[in-house]
Structure formats: structure tokens, C-alpha cells
Structure 1
Amino acid sequence: MRWPITEDLYQIEGQVIRAVHRRAKYLLLETDIGTAIVHLGMSGSLRVLPAGIPPEKHDHVDLCLASGEVLRYNDPRRFGAWLWQPQNCEHSVLSKLGPEPFSDAFNAAYLQEKAQGKRTAIKTFIMDNHVVVGVGNIYANESLFAAGIHPKREAGKIAPQRLALLVDEIKAVLAFAIEQGGTTLKDFKNADGKPGYFAQELQVYGKAGQPCPRCDKPLSEAKIGQRASVYCSACQK
């Protein structure tokens, strides 16, 4: 996995999982003495299985439950992680995260304040977890297209009303993607073994050279922050 499992994670043994939360891409399994932090990476998943089922090739962690069942972590790409956060402490992976995209804290005024004076490309800016969490490469492409904003435009030079529209479009794109079960990579399925269907609704991502769904001009592609960016040079300014 991304980081080796450390000894402190074994403190979870014998503890009751009181609550399960999510923060950014991390799942938090809360106990009375601390919290197990699980990052699913690009392709990880958790399944509750009956005891006695042998692990398969990409199964890396078993959390044995009092019910006799097993919470099993599977990760073909091995980009995920299991970490431990003691009670009343905040792990370094969580301490500097920006607001959740669906929270009231992520609003037009907030994004305008964060963008002020920034020369960073807006696509790179909204993908920064210190600004807002949850906006990955696919959803940054789609949100910027929906808002009509060129991905290379400097964040600090975008008018407030356009940033306000971008906030709305980020929320809308993510909500629709969740409704569709996400955007499946070739090796990802959810815990029920089903893929996400948002790939069928993509407007620009992965479609360089194809007609823009708005104006029919061929979509352009560029590397921005080492990530593939697809956009319409006519519709996005």
C-alpha cells in the first residue's frame, strides 16, 4: 500500500467502532481511544464478508469483527492506506484540508477570498485539497466546462460572479456523479461489484478531438499541472 501499516493501528483491537465518518477521501472509523483512517486510493474498496473466506490477490487488510464477520480491504492499485489517529489529536493528513464541497463553508465568498491574487491556473487551484476537497481531475474538467471557464485562466483574474457560478457547478457535477455511482476506472467496482455510470455522462473528459457538446468545435487537450485537461477553446474563456 502507499504507506506500511504501523504498530499503532493495532490499538483498534478490542475497541468498539462508535461511528463512521468521511473527510475528503478518508474514511474515519471512530473508537473511544482513537480513529482508524482509511484511504481507498484509486481503486480500493471495503466489503463485509463471512469469516473463513480466504483473501484474494488484491486483499490487503482484514479487520475481524465481533460478529464473526470480516471487514476486508481490497486495493488492486495499492495506492490506499490505513493510518491511526489517537483521540484528541488530528493526523497530519487531515489537518490542512479545505472544506467539503457540499458544505456551507464552500461558497462564492470563500472561493473569491482564496483566489485573490493567485496566479495559479484555475484547474490546478480547484484540485488543491487545501482549497477544497473532492475535486479530482475528471470533475475539475467537467465543472470548468459547465461554468464556461478556461482551465488555464489564472484563479485571481476570474470575476467574482464567474467564481460563484463555478462553485455551483462543482456542487452540481459532484452531486450528479454520486447519483450515477461515480466514474469507474477499468479496475474499479463498488462494494456490490457494480461500476459507476458517470462516464456515460461526461461532457469533455477523455474526449479530446471530439465535437464540443455545445458548439461542435473539436475539443482541445493540454497538460495543466501534469494532468490531462480537455476543454473547448470557444466555449471556455
Structure 2
Amino acid sequence: MPELPEVETVRAGLEPLLMNRTISAVSCFRQQLRYPLPDLSGLVGQQIVAVARRSKYLLLQLDSDQILVWHLGMTGQFHMLSEASEKGAHEHVRIDLADGQSLRYRDARRFGYAGLIRAEQLLSHPWFAKLGPEPLSEAFDSSHLAGVCQARKAPIKTVIMDAANVVGVGNIYAAESLFRAGIHPARAAGRVSKIRLALLTDSIKQVLAEAIAAGGSTISDFVKADGKPGYFAHSFQVYGREGEACFLCEKQIKRMVQAGRSSFYCPACQH
């Protein structure tokens, strides 16, 4: 599933191609993805005035004060093509622009979803109302993390992956951040010292910033808006490296399952 760095990479790629462009036509080739698609016919004639992101959601702000919200699900991809380009495999939505370009949404597994939300209703919408702070914002600091971890028996990895505590720290980046901070993913959140939580806060910010700079991580289906892969996977220290040597101590990287997801860690470096 695309995580925050991948969605931010898509946003940054689409922004210069969509900003101040007018929508000339919309075609939906399927009425339902994960959920039924909203009626997008009213987008015709509207101008895109901002391309933003909140958590793992892409936000296309329109001049009508509506926001087209899109979640990529497991395999969702956006491609910018010429209007003359033929419909591709698994292409479900096409948004043509007045400049002759065309935004195509493709999704092999169809777990993505979209909504049209009034700007003033965005923060109270069920998709957004309970979200925690952005991890790269000033609102996410060691004091915030200490507050959500206090007296918690849940594993620290589970806590930082909970979007109510902080958004966008998915499985890959949780594993990499915990490794950098030297914290075992199964350690109870309430048993992590404030000093180590400060290290973890910094690690989360560093890992996500580096991943965004590298264009995200291509594991299976993720590609950027220009069709190219992300390269942060080449920087993985533990994720997907079960049985390989730790780059720091040369002990074997281990894998365990937490809440149905694989957790990768070094038993010597993480406690």
C-alpha cells in the first residue's frame, strides 16, 4: 500500500501539471472501487486551484470550494497522459484538462476510493476527523509522542502506526524508524523512555523526509506520476531483509508478525 512518502511524491509530481488547469471532461468506466464513486460530472468547467495531501489522501481543491479527495488503496496509480492516449489496463477514471492533458486513475485491485467534500466540512468528515498530526509538522514532537505512549501496554510499533496518534507512519517506515532509534517493535509503548521517544520522533521525521526525497519506495505497484519507480527501497536497513546481515552489527535480521503485518528488526541493535 502506498504510504505517506509515496502519496506525497504523487502529489508533488501532479501539482505542476494540475495547478490552475480547467477540467474539460470526466469519464468513469466503473461506478464503484472500494466504495461507490461520487458523481464527478459536476467537475467539468472547474479549475484546480491547489493540490494538497492530508495523511495518505490526495486533495484536489477546486474553485467551487469543493475538494476531490482520493485514497490510492493498495494499487492505485495516477498517470498524466495526452488526451489522445488510449485507455489503459485497469483504468477506471479519466479527467481531461483544457490544455490537452489527461489525468488517468488506474487501480488493479480496486481498493482505492474517492469523495467530493466541501472545504469547510473537510476536517469534520469521518475520513479526517480523528487523524493525528502530520509527522513532518511541528505538532508532532517528542512531547506529543510521549503523551500518546504514556502507560500504554500496546507495542510501540502499533502505537506509531495508529493514525489517531500520528498519520502516515506505515509498516515500512515504522520498521525503519524503530531500527534507527534502537527500539524493539514489540516493546510496550509505555516502557520506552522519554529520551528514546525523542530519538524515535527524530528517526520518524528523518526516515520520511529521506523517503520523500528518494521518491518513495517501490515494492510492487507504486510508481510516481511520471511512471518511474521510487528508490528509497535501496536504503532499507531492516524491512524485507529477514535472514540478511544487519549493516551495523552483522547479526541476522529477524521477522515476526504483529497485528497481521510483518515486522523486521535486528535483535542485537533493538531492545
TM-score range normalised by the length of the shorter chain: over 0.9
Q: Deviations over 1:145-173 (max 9, x none)?
A: 00000000111111001001000001111
Which range moves more in the overlay, 214-223 or 146-155? Answer: 214-223
Find 2:60's aligned residue among 29, 32, 44: 29
Question: Within the alignment, does 1:188 sit opposite 2:222 as a pair?
Answer: yes
Q: Deviations over 1:184-211 (max 9, x none)?
A: 0223221222111111111111111112
Match of residue 62 from structure 1: 94
Match of residue 41 from structure 1: 73
SS of residue matched to 2:127: helix
CA contact (8 A) 1:76 1:187 kept: no
Question: Within the alignment, does 1:169 sit opposite 2:200 as a pair?
Answer: no
Match of residue 46 from structure 2: 15
Q: Deviations over 1:99-143 (max 9, x none)?
A: 111100000011011111211100011111111111110111110
Unmatched runs of 5 consecutive residues or more in structure 2: 1-32
Amino acid at match of 2:214: Q
Alpha-carbon distance between aligned partners in 2 of 1:223 and 1:160, rounded to the nearest angstrom: 26
CA contact (8 A) 1:209 1:219 kept: yes
Runs of 4+ in 1 over 4 A off after TM superposition: none
Match of residue 141 from structure 1: 175
TM-score, normalised relative to structure 1: 0.94
**Root-mean-square deviation over aligned CA pairs:** 1.5
- Shift in Å, 1:36: 0.5
- Shift in Å, 1:52: 2.8
Alpha-carbon distance between aligned partners in 1 of 2:110 and 2:57, rounded to the nearest angstrom: 15
Match of residue 187 from structure 2: 153
Q: Percent identity?
A: 49
Question: Within the alignment, does 1:106 sit opposite 2:140 as a pair?
Answer: yes
What is the correspondence of 1:69-108 to structure 2 with a 5 Å cutoff?
Answer: 69-90=101-122, 91-108=125-142
SS of residue matched to 1:92: coil
Unmatched runs of 5 consecutive residues or more in structure 1: none
Alpha-carbon distance between aligned partners in 2 of 1:200 and 1:54, rounded to the nearest angstrom: 33
Alpha-carbon distance between aligned partners in 2 of 1:68 and 1:4, rounded to the nearest angstrom: 28
- Shift in Å, 1:232: 1.3
TM-score, normalised relative to structure 2: 0.83
CA contact (8 A) 1:5 1:83 kept: yes
